[in-house]
Amino acid sequence: MSFHIKGDDVRELAEQLQKLAGQPSMADAIRLALRNEIARRRSTQSIVDKVAELQRSVQADFGGHKVEFDMKEFWDQDEDN
């Protein structure tokens, strides 16, 4: 299956990628770009998933330590000074 690249900017991008990636043809460069984009989108975590993963990691590292902090006492001490 062949296709025609319309637009000078698209052709220029394909040529740049072909050279940078050392691909033998523009078709190979486009194939590489499409595969990489599909893989990137499939592996991309949502920000919610990333935050949840970070929270689990922090919980695992520091979860057993409850910090007791009395904000009222803190502010009352500040007013005394």
Q: Which of 41, 43, 11 minimizes the C-alpha distance to 27?
A: 11
What span, in angstroms and rounded, lies between the C-alpha atoms of 42 and 60?
27
Residue 69 lies in a domain: no
Q: How confident is the model at residue 81 (pLDDT cuts 50, 70, 90)?
A: low
Residue 33 corresponds to which tokens in the numbers above? 């770009």
**Residue ranges making up the domain that contains 51:** 1-61
Residue 78 lies in a domain: no
Q: Structure pTM?
A: 0.54
In tens, the pLDDT along 26-51 reads 999 999 999 999 988 888 778 888 89
Position 62 scores a pLDDT of 80
Count up the domains in the chain and report the number: 1
Residue 42 lies in a domain: yes
Residue 76 lies in a domain: no
Residue 67 lies in a domain: no
Residue 20 lies in a domain: yes
